[in-house]
Amino acid sequence: MNGHTRVTTSPIELVFRVLVVAALVTDAVVHLRLAGMYQAAAPGGVGEGTLFRIEAALAILVALFVAIRGSRAAYAMAFVITLSALIAVLLYRYVNIPAFGPIPAMYEPVWFFNKSLSAVAEGIGVIAAGAGFVHTRRR
């Protein structure tokens, strides 16, 4: 015995991990693709494109964390990132929120392919991250 414990992952945990990583990467790619155009459309405050890039960077970092580590902390972070992104996209789709502080007005009362794709990915990410958190043993 060398004192190391062999870490195993159940198939269901693996499914959750794959789903969370896929959701976060999809979210990041969509936000990066739209960032340039949205910065020009809403340049007030820090600009909508900057917010999109911050969201994408956080999503990529957390995706790596989940992929490499797969710990409860990683799933918790993924849950927070995907849930906050989902709340933001739904809020700005249905509520005309004026600019406040560094946040520009971003009301966009339409759905289109990329936006729908990222919203669906965020929804899947929330569910999978929550399930992953519950099913993953402490490490």
Partner 1 sequence: MTRKPMAAATFAAALIALAGCGNSSSAAPASNAPASSAAASSSQSAQSGSPASSASNQMVTIKIKDYKYSGPDSVSPGATVTVMNEDAVNHTLTADTNGGFDVTITAGKSATFTAPTTPGTYKYHCTFHANMMGALVVK
Query: Closest separation between CB of residue 55 and partner 1, Å?
Result: 15
Nearest Cα neighbor of 63 from 7, 30, 17 is 17
Nearest Cα neighbor of 78 from 58, 60, 62 is 62
Query: Closest separation between CB of residue 109 and partner 1, Å?
Result: 5
Q: Which is nearer to partner 1, 14 or 90 (CB)?
A: 14
Query: Closest separation between CB of residue 28 and partner 1, Å?
Result: 9
State how far the Cα of 20 lies from the Cα of 27, in Å rounded to an integer: 11
- Residues binding partner 1 (CB under 8 A): 6-9, 11, 14, 17-19, 21-23, 25-26, 29-30, 33-34, 36-43, 48, 63, 66-68, 70, 96, 98-99, 104-110, 112-114, 117, 121
State how far the Cα of 30 lies from the Cα of 131, in Å rounded to an integer: 24
Rounded to the nearest 5 degrees, what angle is found at the Cα of 75, between the Cα atoms of 73 and 78? 110
